[in-house]
Amino acid sequence: MSTEEITNYLAKNDVKPSFQRLSIYQYLISKKNHPTADTIYKELMPNIPTLSKTTVYNTLKLFVDKGVAIAINIEDNEVRFDADTSTHGHFKCEKCNHIYDLTIDVSTLKFENLNDYLIKEAHFYFKGICEKCQKNNINNN
């Protein structure tokens, strides 16, 4: 996305597109690494010396509140963020800690006893060992 497209997207979603907010959102959509707030701060701070951790945390909270990003809570002690707000799942590798996006066809999922509920969001998290780490483990033995 271009800076102009990001500016328009954020503005359309009631997010005032300041330089710092644009930079944080650009990071989220370009890296796709499901970063923590601290990761974003450490990556952007060298290029934006006026950036504070508080600004990063507040911006990410605003993004989630306005629906332009989602918070990923796979681990109790860690919140990561994703600019892909479509319904999809996540897989976290227990060895390399990488988080992968998973395509999920919600039309084929069957859940019982949900007919009387208005579902506003759903989260699909899986943990295990990714294919790459499995291959490395096989090669190291």
> Which of 52 and 120 is assigned the larger pLDDT?
52
Contact status, residue 67 vs residue 83, Cβ threshold 8 Å: no
If one counts the domains in the chain, the total is 2
Determine the structural domain holding residue 112 and report its residue range: 89-140
Query: Does residue 139 register a pLDDT over 80?
Result: no
Within this chain, do residues 96 and 120 fall inside the same structural domain, yes or no?
yes
Distances (CA, A) of 46 to 6, 43, 49: 22, 7, 6
pLDDT digit string, tens, across residues 86-123 = 889 999 999 999 999 999 887 888 888 888 888 888 88
Contact status, residue 83 vs residue 25, Cβ threshold 8 Å: yes
Integer Cα distance of 114 and 100 in angstroms: 28
Within this chain, do residues 105 and 74 fall inside the same structural domain, yes or no?
no
Within this chain, do residues 61 and 117 fall inside the same structural domain, yes or no?
no
Within this chain, do residues 136 and 116 fall inside the same structural domain, yes or no?
yes
pLDDT digit string, tens, across residues 3-32 = 999 999 999 999 999 999 999 999 999 998
Within this chain, do residues 63 and 98 fall inside the same structural domain, yes or no?
no
The pairing of strands 89-93 and 99-102 is antiparallel
